[in-house]
Structure 1
Amino acid sequence: MTFTEQAPENLPELIKTTKDRLRAQIGDVAAALAEVEETLRPKIAEIVALRERGEEVWPVVDFRDVAAGTVPRETADAIRRRGCAVVKGTFSRSRAEAWDRQLVSYLEDNSFGETYQYLDDGVFGSLAAGKPSIFPIYWSKPQMEARQDDNMVAVRGFLNGFWKHESQGRVWFDPRSDTAYPDRVRRREPGTSSSGLSPHTDSGSIERWLSPAYQQVFRHVFAGEPNRYDPWDGAYRTEVNEFASTVMCSAFRTFQGWTALSDMAPDQGVLHTVPIPEAMAYLLLRALQDDVAEDDLCGAANGAALAVDEKYHSLLLPALSPIPAVEPGDTVWWHGDVIHSVGAVTGQQGWGNVMYIPASPRCEKNAAYAKACGRAFTEGVSPGDFAAEDYETGWTGRATAADLNETGRRQLGFSKSPASV
């Protein structure tokens, strides 16, 4: 299966002709945007009011309720409304802290600090950012243990369940089944000062307008009926192939996510989101307005995350809200389209350590990428979506096939049957 496509030649001309066609489909693009704005304004005002009262914006759910199937209806409704959640106690504090120590040993035993060379892989090339603390390791035993753990499988199955996996007469993915999307770790030291990462979305920038599959995903928006758009409908999302670049994602992620390995407070350079998954309709329509150049999509560029900025998207930014305080073992999740950023911090108090582990349910696209990741795991090289830094090829203590349970083998395509929740 092909995971990516080459970006078309003469992108400015393609953007212009695509915008002309989409405008013709929509009709009155200003009225369509105004319709979305009318829907978004009270949502934004509610979020701002909650935050100003010191109340939590992010839904918080206890893992024990996830495991028992007893998540309160109002909590589930809030997750659907906000497109994000913190799952408390996905793992025990002691286990997460042990993983953190094991990662330190893994890095030290293999002299990572002496051999590491910072690489700007372009992921955040268009965003305001400080030097990241993202370490390009994928195959440590803690990462593998967390990915294949029954608790993680249960949480991802719970989150996949918010999505409509069957529509348009087709089954798009299996919400009960996992595939692997191996990602990196972040280790940010106490005392760190960072400008953070400015607001953006992942999983496609210009593709969201130019890709035929994405045009189907956003068919209601591009038909001039934006309030019919359902951000939880999986239709056509598993058919999107992003243009080849260092920011591409070869999988359909229902939720991006990370597992906390340290205590983190909301004012210590943590994840923020605009917790309104429907806001994507606004981003799409904003680029079609008359004040945007004909060959421009509000600054969106191939090979860069889709930036959300004050110039074009000031309506949305007051809703940008941090995660609540988290502890080691908590997991943090946000819908794959949700606008997110990382807050700035000066003299960070305590560590800010996480393992990035998203939710990527089984479909043909995800299974094919996972199988390719299985080959990368065997060789100890970086997965295909990431720069080929390949630090771990000769490392001692790297996870091997003997460290995989049946779920882990299935997630990496080493077994034919799916790993169901």
Structure 2
Amino acid sequence: MALSTDNMPQQIRDLKKMLRDNMPDYRERFKQVSEAMEAEVARIKQEEAAGSAIPQFEYADIAAHGFSDAQRAKVLQSGCCIIRHTLPADEVSAHNEALSRYIIDNGYYDHIPTVEDNYFSQLKSDKPQIFGIYWSQAQIWARQHPNMAVARRNLNRLWTWQEGDKTFFDPDREASYADRVRRREPGDATLGLSPHVDSGSIERWIEPHYREVYHDVFFGDWKNYQAFHGANRIEVEEYPSPAVCSVFRTFQGWVALTPQGKGDGTLQMVPSSLAMPYMLLRALQDDVPEDDLCGAAPGRALTVSPKWHPLLLEGLVSIPQMQPGDTVWWHPDTIHAVEDKHNGTEYSNVLFIGAAPDCGKNRTFLAKQRTAFLNGESCPDFAPEHHEKSYAGRATLDDLTELGRHQMGFE
């Protein structure tokens, strides 16, 4: 079913009536979820006071043994994790320097934008902090690194990826998704992003497959909801936008290119898988206007606001100190943000690299992305800036390893 933006207010009113008619206990249901979320916020604060509420693991342990049952339970509860030493620190630092030269020597800063990036259109800085760069040698190296493949394979297997005779995705094969670069200067105060969720906004209520993803939240026993269950996830349809990812990711993520932590203008999260059920039910309560879903809108990130979600904001924490080669991963329903200001003294740089396992939805996207790669164009999910078409040193087909070619769908 094709999504439509026609008469959105009426669509929302009709949707709310349908959901409430089928969920007469929507007030009590939200009360129960709120009480459970209050307990989650208390847990987050307690764990943060003891060190960090974000689970942390060593790559070598995960590579050797996978996630233990206890570790898996922590990730499923928090919706996120950090894997230390995923990539070799010295090689990461060398690629960080090379990436800087690639950007500067090819005149990125001299480019005058001709298209709007809706997600970051509020940024007015003379120098960008998020770069529409997709095909640098550094990014290709990191995406196709064998360690990254091992990490993502184990992360994918935290999900329920098959059930009965139905396989939702292949956890052991990765579709390489080309995302961007963050290079944040010390003192920068332009990049702060308020708490939000990617991979769809209003779709989470309106789109039929998303409603099936959240069936237990809306219609069953909400305590049975499984955020890491793959059923229906790969069939979800999104409103097209330069702000919305159109592949299925088990985890969003990035790899640190430089040391960074709290106060360095870096990542924040609400480490709880219960936050999404809270947001879904909050929008159906009687104090929200009938034509509104707490601000959700097509083609934009799903925002978490002080007006509608103050409880969730109490659970927002910054990631702990990261070193080059460390990676951070978060479920596509996990609330995250970017600190308003970089108060550190050095650059805060990352490569955005998520986990997108092989499935029909992702193979369809790879066909479009391969053409963009060969032509040096922007990833099809983002604003068509096409910076790299004439860049010297851009990665080409010859730079792909056998693993990299498989991940890009060339073989």
Length-normalised TM-score, structure 2: 0.95
Q: Deviations over 1:346-380 (max 9, x none)?
A: 54321100000000000000111112111110011
Pairing 1:384–2:380 present:
yes
Q: Structure 2: how far apart are the matches of 1:404 and 1:16?
A: 50
Q: % of aligned pairs identical?
A: 42
Q: Is the 8 A contact 1:273 1:340 kept in 2?
A: yes
For residue 307 of structure 1, report the CA deviation from its aligned partner: 0.4
Q: 1:324 to 1:269 in 2, by over 3 A?
A: same
**Structure 1 position 34 matched with structure 2 position 31:** yes
1:263 maps to what in 2?
A: 259
Once the 2 structures are TM-superposed, how far is the Cα of residue 119 of structure 1 from its aligned partner?
5.7
Runs of 4+ in 1 over 6 A off after TM superposition: none
Q: CA offset at residue 410 of structure 1?
A: 1.2
**What RMSD, in angstroms, separates the aligned Cα atoms of the two structures?**
1.8
Once residues 123 and 318 of structure 2 are traced to their aligned partners in structure 1, the CA distance between those partners, rounded to angstroms, is 17
Question: Does the aligned pair in 2 maintain the 1:129–1:197 contact within 8 Å?
Answer: no
Q: Which residue matches 1:418? A: none
Could you say which residue in structure 2 is the equivalent of 1:15?
Answer: 12
SS in 2 for 1:198: strand
Map 1:162-311 → 2, pairs under 5 A:
162-167=158-163, 169-194=165-190, 196-311=192-307
Task: Please state if 1:321 is matched with 2:348.
Answer: no
> Map of 1:351-390 to 2, 5 A cutoff?
351-390=347-386
Q: Which amino acid aligns with 1:149?
A: H
- Could you tell me which of 407, 411, 419 is aligned with 2:407? 411
Residue 107 of structure 1: aligned partner: 103
C-alpha spacing 1:183/1:93, structure 2 compared with 1 (3 Å): same
Asked if 1 retains the 8 angstrom alpha-carbon contact of 2:256 and 2:349, the reply is yes
In 2, are the aligned partners of 1:257 and 1:356 still within 8 Å (CA)? yes
Cα gap change, 1:314/1:191 in structure 2, threshold over 3 Å: closer, same or farther?
A: closer
The alpha carbon displacement at 1:5 in A equals: 4.5
SS at match of 1:289: coil
Q: Which runs of 5+ in 2 are unaligned?
A: none
Question: Partner of 1:96 in structure 2?
Answer: 92
User: Residues of 1 paired with 2:335 and 2:53: CA distance?
Assistant: 15
Measured after TM superposition, the shift of residue 279 of structure 1 is 1.4
In structure 2, the partner of 1:67 is 63
Once the two structures are TM-superposed, the CA of residue 228 in structure 1 deviates from its matched residue by 1.5
Cα offset for 1:77? 2.6
Deviation at 1:80, TM superposition (A): 2.0
- Kindly state the Cα deviation for residue 23 of structure 1 after the two structures are TM-superposed: 0.9
Deviates more, 1:180-189 or 1:346-355: 346-355
- In structure 1, what is the equivalent of residue 132 of structure 2? 136
TM-superposition CA deviations, 1:13-39 (whole Å, max 9, x none): 111101100111111110110121122
Contact 2:269–2:335 (8 Å) recurs in 1: yes
In structure 1, C-alpha distance between the alignment counterparts of 2:294 and 2:123, rounded to whole Å: 19
1:279-315 CA distances to partner (integer Å, 9 max, x unpaired)? Answer: 1111111111100111100011112110001111111
Q: Which stretch of structure 1 is more off in the superposition, 221-230 or 285-294?
A: 221-230
Per-residue CA deviation, residues 48-84 of structure 1 (Å, 9 max, x unaligned), is: 1222x34211111111111111555433332222111
Distance 1:239 1:57 in 2: 32
CA distance in 2, matches of 1:294, 1:402: 55
Q: CA deviation at 1:7?
A: 2.8
2:331 to 332, 335, 340: 335
Matched length: 409
Distance 1:347 1:69 in 2: 38
1:348 to 344, 347, 355: 344
1:49 corresponding residue in structure 2: 46
Amino acid at match of 1:260: A
> C-alpha displacement at 1:6, in angstroms?
4.9
Structure 1 residue 149 displacement after superposition: 0.9
- Residue 43 (structure 1) shift: 1.4
1:75 aligns to what SS in structure 2?
Answer: helix
1:303 alignment partner, SS class: coil
CA-CA distance at 1:116 after TM superposition: 4.8
Q: Which residue of 1 aligns with 2:77?
A: 81
Could you say if the C-alpha distance between residues 46 and 207 of structure 1 is closer, same or farther in structure 2, counting changes exceeding 3 Å?
same
In structure 2, the CA distance between the partners of 1:187 and 1:118, relative to structure 1 (3 Å rule), is: farther
Partner Cα separation in structure 1 for residue 385 and residue 190 of structure 2: 24
Return the alpha-carbon distance in structure 2 between the equivalents of residues 237 and 219 of structure 1. Answer: 12
Q: Which residue of 1 aligns with 2:151?
A: 155
List alignment gaps of at least 5 residues for structure 1: 416-421
